[in-house]
């Protein structure tokens, strides 16, 4: 199974062309959108963006997506993955939007308890985990700070050992990490032309796309 993973669109109109071009070039089976579709709104743009993707899409909202974006995802042709699990081509996907607390008081922030309790309800063994906020200690560093990710996401990963975790949120942390049975991927901000192609059957293989 081939996944096109994008995140941190932040309302960039060029991301529509980016996604469609990458679909044509890499022929994925599914698109994953890991949050921050808008830059603090409007929710209508999230629907417009998701409806422009000509392929089955699973999406969550991010901490910069205001109230209304979750409903906009549900109203679009995409499938809302927040606090849900879905099966696609024999693989289970579990998602959680928003982020752990930030210093900026962004629209969609959750307590660590909320993150853990929500994921614990829907997570299963061998599911692909799609979260906006990364796990603490994995792809969560900036030039000025580290360990910005969620302790609860890290706890869920330690309990369930997912084969793949797709996260976003920390733009500077674009990359790939592997630990134990888990591959961590931050595709980078689509607003800057970044994405990732992930082949999931058998060994997880990742190609980061963009300059």
For residue 129, list its beta bridge partners: 94, 165
Query: How does residue 211 score in pLDDT terms, banded at 50, 70 and 90?
Result: confident
Query: How does residue 202 score in pLDDT terms, banded at 50, 70 and 90?
Result: confident
Beta strands in 38-181 (DSSP E): 57-60, 79-80, 84-88, 91-96, 128-131, 164-166, 175-179
Q: Is the pLDDT of residue 47 over 80?
A: yes
pLDDT of residue 145: 87
d(CA 131, CA 168): 7
User: Mean pLDDT throughout 179-187?
Assistant: 97
- The rounded mean pLDDT for the chain is 97
Q: Is the pLDDT of residue 201 over 90?
A: no
d(CA 79, CA 32): 10
Q: Tokens 């990458």 map to which residue?
A: 22
User: Mean pLDDT throughout 52-57?
Assistant: 98
- Say if CB 60 and CB 80 are below 8 A apart: yes
Sequence spans of domains, the chain: 2-209
Q: What is the pTM of this model?
A: 0.97
pLDDT in tens, 61-97: 999 999 999 999 999 999 999 999 999 999 999 999 9
| CATH architecture of the domain with residue range 2-209 | 4-Layer Sandwich (3.60)
Selected residue with higher pLDDT from 107 and 145: 107
């Amino acid at each position: 199974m081939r996944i096109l993973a994008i995140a941190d669109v932040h309302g960039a109109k060029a991301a529509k062309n980016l996604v469609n071009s990458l679909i044509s070039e890499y022929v994925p089976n599914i698109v994953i959108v890991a949050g921050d579709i808008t830059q603090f709104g409007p929710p209508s743009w999230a629907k417009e963006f998701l409806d422009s993707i000509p392929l089955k899409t699973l999406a969550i909202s991010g901490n910069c997506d205001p109230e209304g974006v979750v409903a906009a995802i549900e109203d679009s042709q995409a499938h809302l993955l927040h606090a849900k699990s879905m099966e696609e081509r024999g693989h289970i996907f579990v998602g959680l939007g928003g982020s752990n607390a930030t210093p900026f008081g962004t629209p969609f922030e959750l307590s660590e308890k909320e993150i853990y309790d929500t994921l614990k309800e829907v997570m299963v063994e061998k599911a692909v985990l799609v979260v906006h906020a990364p796990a603490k200690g994995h792809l969560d560093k900036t030039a000025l700070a580290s360990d910005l990710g969620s302790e609860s996401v890290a706890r869920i990963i330690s309990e369930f050992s997912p084969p793949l975790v797709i996260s976003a949120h920390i733009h500077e942390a674009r990359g790939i990490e592997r630990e134990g049975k888990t591959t961590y991927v931050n595709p980078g901000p689509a607003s800057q032309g970044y994405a990732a192609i992930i082949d999931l059957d058998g060994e997880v293989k990742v190609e980061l796309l963009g300059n």
